Amino acid sequence: MLTIKALALGAINPYTWVIIPFILIIVAAVVFAPSLYRLITIWLSNDEKARTTIMPNDRKSKKTSKAKFDGKINFEALEEIIDTAGYAYNPEKDIFFSTMEAWQRKMGYCRLYDEAAAPLGMIIDCEPIYFTYGGKRWLIEFWKGQYGMTTGCEIGIYTTAWPDLNIPNVFNGTFYKCANDKDRLYMQFSLKKNGEKLLSRKQKHWWLTGFKLGEFSNPSDLVLDIYITFKNKKMRNAFLTSLIETGYTDEEYGISGRTVAIRFDKPHTKQPYSRSPQTDMIVQRRNKMFCDQYNFITKSYSNIADKIMAVKEQSPELYKEILNIGKTLSLYDTYTKIKHYLENNSNFNNNYNSDSEV
């Protein structure tokens, strides 16, 4: 056995001096490889300007890059996202949410939109509840899951007074309008991730939403507690009947006057055909990669405007992904064909226009 004294005197095999540094290099590689891999991944995915920021040539360039954002809120990038996505931002809760007159309100809703979600990067649980009230068919739907680079949830209210559509090679089924102002309901939700509260909102709305940027989740991680106050008990009972027929048990809902409380954990309805374990795995791997990249780039910044500005400067491709917060315009591509059909069919066109404030 070699002693410290023997080592000091060099009384060892001459090859040992080659082996020891080699072993140290291997140990260092094991210890630092994860961090180095993540840094190289980010570096390779960015343009030249980003590489200069992430791996500067000297300390001076690093300080200059950071000073570009620190102490100054850059609203330009944030406003672009809000305008493009149709959402607003709550700095106190650090969430994006849909506005009352978001462009999505003109798009209506149908099952095809849910089918298109997964291929567009949205792995979300859907729960549509259909019922009839006041001479119209209603759809109140819940969603929760991963919307690209955000974890979020939604409650949407939709109505129709006209028959189902049958558009060859496009759509066969019920097409709903987004609820008008008279049909808005007071709603509230609390989204929990693995038992911890992630976000909450409450408002009289037609589409109550919340999205947290850079947060990655699987739909099964999330539980959505929902509260909806209906116009009267007749409407409440119509909704409840459908909720129970959908499969909800006494442990999953409660009643207090005109208000119904629902716990949306595992969906009771059949999920879109586009959802499968294989699809979820592929799409979620990509979503997680984007979230990790976003969190790595923005870890030095405290406010959302500076974070987004940093991403815009360092990774334009990642910035484009941020522009797709929530439900994106691509999801509604089918609407163009449906709208064309409605406008060229006098019966549906008249019903569509007259239904605006029923």
Q: Per-residue pLDDT tens for 257-288?
A: 999 999 999 999 999 999 999 999 999 999 99
pLDDT at residue 30, as a whole number: 41
How much is the average pLDDT of 37-48? 40
- Using CA atoms, how far apart are residues 25 and 331, in angstroms rounded to an integer? 50
Instruction: Tell me which of 244-253, 280-289, 324-333, 342-351 is least confident.
Output: 342-351
Residue 229 burial (C-beta neighbours within 10 Å; 0-12, 13-18, 19+): middle
pLDDT tens digits, residue range 51-89? 333 333 333 333 333 334 433 445 666 776 777 677 889
Instruction: Tell me which of 50-54, 248-252, 304-308 is least confident.
Output: 50-54
Contact between residue 149 and residue 321 where contact means Cβ atoms under 8 Å apart: yes
pLDDT at residue 154, as a whole number: 98
* Residue 6 CB contacts under 8 Å (≥ 6 apart), including other chains: 12
Flag whether pLDDT at 33 surpasses 90. no
Flag whether pLDDT at 41 surpasses 80. no
Q: How many CB atoms lie within 10 A of CB 134?
A: 14
pLDDT tens digits, residue range 121-177? 999 999 999 999 999 999 999 999 999 999 999 999 999 999 999 988 889 999 999
Question: Considering the chain, what is the average pLDDT of its residues?
Answer: 82
pLDDT tens digits, residue range 226-249? 999 999 999 999 999 999 999 999
pLDDT at residue 353, as a whole number: 54
Flag whether pLDDT at 355 surpasses 90. no
3-state SS, residue 178: strand
- Using CA atoms, how far apart are residues 308 and 76, in angstroms rounded to an integer? 9
- Using CA atoms, how far apart are residues 228 and 230, in angstroms rounded to an integer? 6
What amino acid occupies position 125? D
Q: Is the pTM of this model over 0.85?
A: no
pLDDT at residue 139, as a whole number: 99
What amino acid occupies position 41? T
Tally the C-alpha atoms within 13 A of residue 324's C-alpha that lie toward its C-beta: 20
Question: Which of 238, 239, 245, 241 has its CA nearest to residue 269?
Answer: 245
Tell which wins on pLDDT, 28 or 183.
Answer: 183
Does the CA dihedral 278-280-283-286 come out positive or negative? negative
